[in-house]
Amino acid sequence: MELGSADAFDRMGTLGVEEEFYIVDADGRPTSGIDDLVYGPEPPEPLAGRLDHELFQFTIETQTPLIEDPDEAGAAVSTVREALVDHAADHGYRIAAAGLHPAAKWRELDHATKPRYQAQLDRIQYPQHRNTTAGLHVHVGVDDADKAVWVANELRWYLSPLLALSANSPFWNGFDTGLASARAKVFENLPNTGMPTAFEDFEEFQRFERRMVEYGSIDDRGELWYDVRPHTGHGTVEIRTPDAQTDPERVADFVEYVHALVLDLADRYESGESGTSVRRELLDENKWRATRYGRDTDFIAPDSEGVVSLDSFVETESDRLGVDGLRSLLDAESGTAVQRRIHEESGLDALCEHLTLD
């Protein structure tokens, strides 16, 4: 039984970034490549020991080394990406990045044979069989387990604006879904996903985690795939909401804000601030708005009185926390809009090419 402990939460403010990508051929179309890239010869630094795959044989995941200085996060992400692109090229592949690959048709793609994923396929069936999603996960170290749970609780309202800013997956299984982030909805069909409830403290969260394993709902704690979670192995709070990003500068923008937000919430916990009480249904509604409309929506306020526009959210949070990345994300054309524009103007081949990393 793989379970973490409160002892893991011993450092504040460290960073780790996980990105999920697609292995594609010369034309940018999905192809099975994990046998060569993951199970072949040891990949070069900084990928060694930090490269794995996901459910399908065309999905691959990277992890940055532990980042001590948040100012170095952007460089760390770029270094890992460049190493992955070079590693793939050495084996005749390319790498693509988006929340969903527009040309991926799950019925035509091979699943990984790793026992962990075979067990998930057997247990979950249809929802997992079609899970071709790719996300961006940001870990921020927290130095106290109860603090980490409190921070994760408070982060929940902020997740929907982050999803709206990250939306980069309008196409799934070969068609335009009409959603800004089809990935969010496809992934949410799995169990133990979406917006979690609040937990009173670490003891309550750990009790839940343990019971889910003991009762056979999950094989290990890593299968609690909620949009935010205290990671009891790494000692972090992990935000799992954003779509995978094509542009590494956008990843750096998200990391900057998430890091500043977690540190701010940690300070508020230390100051004895009481947590907010937001109905789970309203959090789900906000996430739906982000999933469906992306940038073109507003969000029910935390106190349920009125709505908050995305523009207002960005301005308030940028000024409050002294960050620049949120404004950069808002000012740029959204990933969803870019994909639709390229697809309409130039077709699927051009879109596949656009999503590949140089």
351 in Cβ contact with 24 (< 8 Å) = no
Given the DSSP bridges, would you call strands 15-24 and 94-96 parallel, antiparallel or unpaired?
Answer: antiparallel
pLDDT for res 3 = 72
Per-residue pLDDT in tens (0 to 9) along the chain, 358 residues: 567 789 999 999 999 999 999 999 999 999 999 999 999 999 999 999 999 999 999 999 999 999 999 999 999 999 999 999 999 999 999 999 999 999 999 999 999 999 999 999 999 999 999 999 999 999 999 999 999 999 999 999 999 999 999 999 999 999 999 999 999 999 999 999 999 999 999 999 999 999 999 999 999 999 999 999 999 999 999 999 999 999 999 999 999 999 999 999 999 999 999 999 999 999 999 999 999 999 999 999 999 999 999 999 999 999 999 999 999 999 999 999 999 999 999 999 999 999 999 8
Domain ranges within the chain, ordered by starting residue? 6-357
How many CB atoms neighbour CB 285 within 10 A? Answer: 15
pLDDT for res 2 = 61
Q: What is d(CA 198, CA 28) in angstroms, rounded to the nearest whole number?
A: 41
Which of the 8 DSSP states describes residue 143? S
Second CATH level (architecture) for the domain 6-357: 2-Layer Sandwich (3.30)
The stretches of the chain forming alpha helices (DSSP H) are 34-37, 73-90, 115-124, 126-129, 145-155, 159-166, 182-188, 202-214, 248-270, 280-293, 310-321, 325-331, 335-346, 348-355
Sign (positive or negative) of CA dihedral 141, 144, 149, 153 = negative
Within the chain, what is the greatest distance between any pair of CA atoms? 57
Which phi-psi region, left, alpha or beta, contains residue 343 (left: φ > 0; alpha: ψ -120 to 50)?
A: alpha
Q: Which residues make beta-bridge pairs with 228?
A: 239
The dihedral formed by the CA atoms of 232, 235, 241 and 246, expressed in degrees to the nearest 10: -130
Closest to 254 in 3D by CA, of 35, 61, 77, 130: 77
User: Whole-prediction pTM value?
Assistant: 0.97
Whose tokens are 């040891």? That residue is 42
Q: What is d(CA 129, CA 110) in angstroms, rounded to the nearest whole number?
A: 10
Q: What is the CA radius of gyration of the chain?
A: 19
Q: What is d(CA 343, CA 102) in angstroms, rounded to the nearest whole number?
A: 10
Residue 244 in tokens: 């995978």
Residue 31 in tokens: 């192809």
Q: What is d(CA 262, CA 25) in angstroms, rounded to the nearest whole number?
A: 39
